[in-house]
């Protein structure tokens, strides 16, 4: 296990690791060890931490405005 994984071992409970093993078995049709499940689970959680960013009210309003502008432009072209 890598140093990063060792530092984050307490990130997942035994129950979560077991559930990850169950989901992995159902999805891919093969068993993985507790150690592999822990490593893959931690990597998945870390990936989500990196890429998931909740949208703020301000960003949501900007997105709505942009979508409306695009919709209006498309309607004008018709």
pLDDT of 19 reads 97
Question: Which pTM was predicted?
Answer: 0.59
pLDDT of 61 reads 96
Q: What are phi and psi of 32, to 5 degrees?
A: -125, 155
Residue range of the domain that includes 33: 3-77
pLDDT of 10 reads 58
Question: Domain tally for the chain?
Answer: 1
Residue 1 has pLDDT above 80, yes or no: no
| Predicted confidence (pLDDT) per residue in 4-63, tens digit | 444 554 589 999 999 999 999 999 999 999 999 999 999 999 999 899 888 899 999 999
């Amino acid at each position: 296990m890598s140093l990063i994984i060792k530092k984050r071992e307490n990130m997942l409970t035994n129950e979560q690791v077991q559930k990850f093993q169950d989901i992995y078995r159902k999805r891919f049709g093969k068993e993985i060890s507790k150690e592999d499940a822990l490593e893959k689970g931690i990597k998945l959680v870390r990936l989500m931490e990196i890429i998931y960013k909740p949208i703020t009210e301000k960003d949501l309003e900007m997105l709505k405005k942009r979508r409306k502008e695009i919709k209006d432009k498309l309607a004008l072209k018709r």
